[in-house]
Amino acid sequence: MFRVALKSLLDRKLRLLLSTSAIILGVGFVAGSLVFTDMLESGFDKIFSRAVGDVVVRDKAGVGEFGTTTDKTVPASLVADLAALPGVARADGNVSNQSTFVIGRDGKAIGGQGAPGLGLNWNDAPGQGGQPVVSVVDGRPPERAGEVALDTRTAERAGYDVGDQLKLVTSSSTEDQLEATLVGTFEFADGGTLAGASLTAFDTKTAQQLFLGGRDEFNDIWVSAEPGVSQDQLRDTVAAALPAGDVAVTGEQEAADNAEGLGQALSFIRTFLLVFAAISLFVGAFLIVNTFAMLLAQRSRELALLRALGASTRQVFASVVAEAVVVGLIGSTLGLAFGLLLAKGLQALFGLVGLDLAGQSLVVSPATIVASYVIGVLVTVLAAVMPAWRTRRIAPVQALGDTVALPESSLLRRFVGGLVLLAGGVALMALGLLGDVPRAGWITLAGAVAVLLGAAIASPVLGRPLLDGVRRLFSAGFGTVGQLAGENTRRNPRRTASTASALMIGLALAGAVAILATSGKATTATVIEDTFAGDFVIGNVSNQPFSSAVADRVAEVDGVTQVMRQRFGIGSIDGDFAVLGGLDPAGLGPVVKVDVVEGDLADLGPGSVVIDSSFADSHHLHVGDPVTYTLAQGEEDLEVAAVIEPAPLLALPATTLDGLARLGFPQEDATVFVAGPTASVDDLEAAVGDNPFVTVNDRAGLVQQQNDQADQGLLMIYGLLALALIIAVLGIVNTLALSIIERTREIGLLRAVGMTRGQLRRLVTLESVAMSLLGTAMGLVLALFFGVAVWRAFRDDGLTELAIPVLQLSLFAVAAVVVGVLAAVFPARRAAKLDVLDAIATE
C-alpha cells in the first residue's frame, strides 16, 4: 500500500507541487524566524563572551534593571591599586555612553532607530582568557582630543575613510555637534554583530570629559588574570581590596548577565515572528485540507478498486496518511531551504528599522531543522486526517459504478458545530479581554482561534446568501458564462467556503490591525488636543535622551513662557519591566493638563511619585502607599503623592527631576514641553541646534510624528501578514487548478457545444473572483468584530477613540477582486489549452 501511495504521488506531480506549496511557505516562515533569531543570538554571544574582562569591577549601583546604566562610577585611582594585586596581570578602566551618534556625509545620523550609539574610551584591554577584543583594521587608535576611531560598519555606512573630518552628537555634550578626525577603524576580533549600533572610540581623557563631566573616574574596570589564576580566585582577591559600595563580578557571570538581558529582547522578537509563522501555518492548513479532500474525491474510484482488490479500510486510510507524510517531508525540506531565503529577507526588513545585520552569517541549528520537519509533517498529517478518514466509508462495490463520490458530512451538522464553536470563541474572548483572570492573553488567543475556526466551519451555510447574490450579479453582467460561474461556486459549498476561509483569516487579521491602528491615531490626536496645553514639543526621534542644555537654551527663546522637562529611568516592579519618569511638577496644569483623582500634586517631591488611576487600580494603591521599585542600588519605596487620570503624554509613575537624579539616573532629557504661543519654530530650532535627532514639533507636527512612527510598525506587521495572504491566494489557485482537472470532461463538453477559449477563461476568472469576494466579506466582518472587541477591552487603558478606516477596508475589498483575477490566470490558461476531444474522452 505504501508503494501504491508513493506511485500515486509521483504520477501526479502537479498535484504534489500544489499540495506542498502551503507547507513550503509555512515551514519556511518558522525556519526563517528561528534562523534569524539564532543569527542575532550568535552574533551577540560572540561579543558578550569576549568583550568582558576576567573580572569586572563597578559601583554596586552602576548597572540597573534590564542592563540599563546609571551615573555611578569608580575612581580612576582604583585601577593602579587593582593592577598591583597578586594574580593580576593588568587592570584597565572603561568609560561608556549609549547615546553617541556619527553624522554621515549626507547629514543623516547613523543608527538611532532603536539601536544605541555607543561611545567609549579606547584601550587594548584583553577579554576573558587574555584574548583580544577588537583589532584595528585601518589607521590607528585615537590618542588625543579631536580624534576618534569607528567600527568598520559605521564608517562604511557614514561614507568616511581614515583621515576624514566627521561630526557626531552625544547626549552628554552641551554642544550641538562635535567635530573630530577619523584616525582608525576597528572590528571585533572574532566576528560578532553590533545589530545596527554604532561604536565610536575616543582617547580616555576626552571620553571622561564628554561622558563623566571631566571627572577622573570610570564606569567600570576590567581586571585580567595572570596565567593559572581562575576567575573565581581573581574575583575573591579583587573583592577583598575594594572600597565599600564597589563590587567584583567574574567575566563569565558578567557575560551571562548581559546575555540574559539580551535574551529577553530576543525572546520577544522570536515570539513576535513565530506568531506570524503560526498564522501562516494556520492558513496553510485550510489549503492542505482542501487539497487532500479534492485529491481524494478525484481518486474515489481508485480507492474503491483498492477496496475491491482486498485492501482493508485501515490500509486505505494508512496509505492516505503515508501520502501526507511524504508530502510533509518534501514540503518541510523545501520549506527549510525557503526559510534561509526568508531569513535574509527578515535581515533586510529589520535593517530598515535600525537592526542592521549586514555581513552576519546565517545560523542553522539542529533544533531549527528538527522543528521544521516536525511542524511540517505534523501539520500536513493532521490536516489530511479528516479527508483520509472519510475514505473508510468507500465501499468496494462503488468501483462498479459510473461515478464514485467521497462521502461528505451533513451541512446542517457542520453548520451547528460551527456556530457552537463560534459562540464558545466569543465567550472566551470576552473572558480574556474583559475578565480579571490569569493568563488572559492565552484565553483571548484561544477564543480568537475558535472564532476563526467556527466561522470557517459554518461558512458553507453562512456564505450561501452571498454566493446567491454573486450568481445573480454575474448572470446579469456576463450572461450564460456568469450564470455557470455562479452555479459552479455553489456546486460544492464546502470547497468554496474552505478556499475562501484562508483569505478570510488573513483579511480578518489585517483589517483588525488597521482598525486598531486607526483608532490609536485618533486617540493620539484627541489626547494631544485635550491634554497638551503647551505649544511645542521637543523630542528625540530615536527615543534616546538628549542633552539637558537644549532645554536651557529653549527657555531663553523670545516668546517662551514655560519649559517642562521629562526624563525617565528603567526599573522593575514585582519582577516586571517598569518605567520611572521624572518631571517638573510646575508644568502639570499649565503645560500638560492633568485631572487629580486623589491627593495633591503639591506634595510631589524627590521621595514620592504621581501615578495614574489605571496603575493605582491594578496595583491596589492609594495616596500614602509605597510603590516599590527594584533599581540598580536595590529596592526603593516611593510614596504615592497623588493619583491622576491617565495622561499618555507623561511617563508614569513619575517622581521629580531631582528625585530621579538621586536614584542615579543620568540627567538627560527625553522630552521637553514648551509653552510659548508667540514663539516661532525657527527660533526654537535655532536654539535646539544642528542635531538631526532632536526635533521641534507644534501640535499638528507632534500628531504627524506619532502617526509616522505607528505607520512604520504597521508596515512591518502588514509585511509579515503578507505571507499568510500569499498562501490564501495559492489556495484559490490550487482549488481552481484541481477543479479544472476534476472537470476536464465537463470543460470538453462545454467547448464542444460552442464555448470559446475566451469565455472559458472568463468562467474560471469569475469563479476565482466569487471565492475572493466570499473570503473578503467574511474577513471584513470578522475584522470589525476583532477590532471593536480589542478596542473595547483597552478603552479604559487609554485607547479612547474608535475609528473605522472605511477607505482602507474598501481598498482591501477592491484588492480581493484583483487577487481573484490574478489567481485565475494559470488555471484559466490551462483550461483553455485543453484539447476538446481528449477532454471529452477523459473518465
- The gap from C-alpha 592 to its chain's centroid, in whole angstroms, comes to 32
pLDDT band at 456 (very low <50, low <70, confident <90, very high): confident
The pLDDT of 648-658, averaged and rounded, is 92
pLDDT, residue 147, reads 95
Q: 465-476: per-residue pLDDT in tens?
A: 888 898 899 888
- 411 grid coordinates: 451541512
- 723 grid coordinates: 505571507
150 and 104 Cβ atoms separated by less than 8 Å = no
- 496 grid coordinates: 468554496
The pLDDT of 258-265, averaged and rounded, is 67
Q: Which candidate, 123, 125, 149, places its Cα nearest to that of 137? A: 149
What span, in angstroms and rounded, lies between the C-alpha atoms of 340 and 351? 17
pLDDT band at 370 (very low <50, low <70, confident <90, very high): very high
How many Cα atoms are found within 13 Å in the side-chain-facing hemisphere of 674?
Answer: 34
What span, in angstroms and rounded, lies between the C-alpha atoms of 476 and 225? 87
Amino acid symbol at 135: S
Q: What percent of the chain has pLDDT over 70?
A: 86
The pLDDT of 62-68, averaged and rounded, is 55
Residue 459 has pLDDT above 60, yes or no: yes
- At 593, is the secondary structure helix, strand, or coil? coil
What span, in angstroms and rounded, lies between the C-alpha atoms of 609 and 626? 9
What span, in angstroms and rounded, lies between the C-alpha atoms of 157 and 356? 11
234 and 87 Cβ atoms separated by less than 8 Å = yes
pLDDT band at 638 (very low <50, low <70, confident <90, very high): very high
Q: 535-553: per-residue pLDDT in tens?
A: 999 988 777 788 888 999 9
Residue 842 has pLDDT above 90, yes or no: no
Residue 516 has pLDDT above 60, yes or no: yes
Q: 683-703: per-residue pLDDT in tens?
A: 998 988 877 878 899 888 888
The pLDDT of 511-529, averaged and rounded, is 89
What span, in angstroms and rounded, lies between the C-alpha atoms of 41 and 264? 11
The pLDDT of 295-304, averaged and rounded, is 67
Residue 149 has pLDDT above 50, yes or no: yes
What span, in angstroms and rounded, lies between the C-alpha atoms of 340 and 348? 13
What span, in angstroms and rounded, lies between the C-alpha atoms of 290 and 383? 9
How many residues appear in the chain?
Answer: 843
What span, in angstroms and rounded, lies between the C-alpha atoms of 559 and 497? 65
Going by the DSSP 8-state scheme, the letter that residue 99 receives in this structure is: B
H/E element, 773: helix 757-794
pLDDT, residue 150, reads 95
The pLDDT of 427-456, averaged and rounded, is 86
pLDDT, residue 404, reads 46
Q: 479-505: per-residue pLDDT in tens?
A: 888 888 888 888 778 778 878 888 888
320 and 310 Cβ atoms separated by less than 8 Å = no
Using CA of residue 526, residue 528, residue 529, residue 531, what is the dihedral sign?
positive
End-to-end Cα separation, the chain, in angstroms: 24
The DSSP string of 510-545 is HHHHHHHHHHHHHHHHHHHHHHB-SSEEEEETTS--
SS (H, E, C) 706-759: HHHHHHHHHHHHHHHHHHHHHHHHHHHHHHHHHHHHHCHHHHHHHHHCCCCHHH
pLDDT, residue 399, reads 47
What span, in angstroms and rounded, lies between the C-alpha atoms of 271 and 203? 41
The pLDDT of 136-161, averaged and rounded, is 93
- 648 grid coordinates: 499618555
pLDDT, residue 3, reads 66
pLDDT, residue 353, reads 61
The pLDDT of 780-804, averaged and rounded, is 87
What span, in angstroms and rounded, lies between the C-alpha atoms of 368 and 336? 9
pLDDT, residue 90, reads 93
Q: 577-636: per-residue pLDDT in tens?
A: 888 999 999 999 889 999 999 999 999 999 999 999 989 988 899 999 999 998 866 788
- The gap from C-alpha 231 to its chain's centroid, in whole angstroms, comes to 39
Dihedral angle over CA of 472, 474, 479, 483, nearest 10: -70
Q: 374-397: per-residue pLDDT in tens?
A: 988 888 888 778 777 766 666 665
CA angle, 532 then 533 then 535, to 5°: 90
What span, in angstroms and rounded, lies between the C-alpha atoms of 578 and 282? 34
What span, in angstroms and rounded, lies between the C-alpha atoms of 704 and 699? 9
Mean pLDDT over the full length of the chain: 83
Q: Rounded to the nearest 5°, which phi and psi values hold at 48?
A: -65, -35
The DSSP string of 281-324 is HHHHHHHHHHHHHHHHHHTHHHHHHHHHTT--HHHHHHHHHHHH
Q: Which candidate, 744, 735, 778, places its Cα nearest to that of 489? A: 735
Q: Which candidate, 389, 262, 213, places its Cα nearest to that of 318? A: 389
What span, in angstroms and rounded, lies between the C-alpha atoms of 413 and 373? 35
What span, in angstroms and rounded, lies between the C-alpha atoms of 513 and 766? 29
Q: 334-355: per-residue pLDDT in tens?
A: 999 998 988 888 777 776 666 6
- 146 grid coordinates: 579631536
Omega of the bond leading into 653 within 30 degrees of 0 (cis): yes
H/E element, 592: none
Amino acid symbol at 775: G
415 and 441 Cβ atoms separated by less than 8 Å = no
Across the chain, which distance is largest between two alpha carbons, in Å?
Answer: 102
- 431 grid coordinates: 473572558
pLDDT, residue 392, reads 65
Residues 6+ apart with CB under 8 A from 90: 83, 125, 126, 223, 224
Q: Which candidate, 743, 736, 734, 564, places its Cα nearest to that of 654? A: 564
**Residues facing 627 on adjacent strands:** 638
What span, in angstroms and rounded, lies between the C-alpha atoms of 686 and 614? 39
Residues 6+ apart with CB under 8 A from 321: 381, 384, 385, 388
115 and 356 Cβ atoms separated by less than 8 Å = yes
CA angle, 460 then 737 then 390, to 5°: 50
Q: 773-783: per-residue pLDDT in tens?
A: 998 999 999 99
Q: What percent of the chain has pLDDT over 90?
A: 28
pLDDT band at 843 (very low <50, low <70, confident <90, very high): low
More confident residue, 409 or 430: 430
- 388 grid coordinates: 483520509
Residues 6+ apart with CB under 8 A from 503: 725, 728, 729, 731, 732, 771, 772, 775, 776, 779, 816, 819
More confident residue, 398 or 694: 694
Q: Which candidate, 544, 697, 445, places its Cα nearest to that of 68? A: 544
- 761 grid coordinates: 477563461
pLDDT, residue 394, reads 63
**Residues facing 134 on adjacent strands:** 188
pLDDT, residue 89, reads 93
pLDDT, residue 200, reads 93
What span, in angstroms and rounded, lies between the C-alpha atoms of 515 and 209? 50
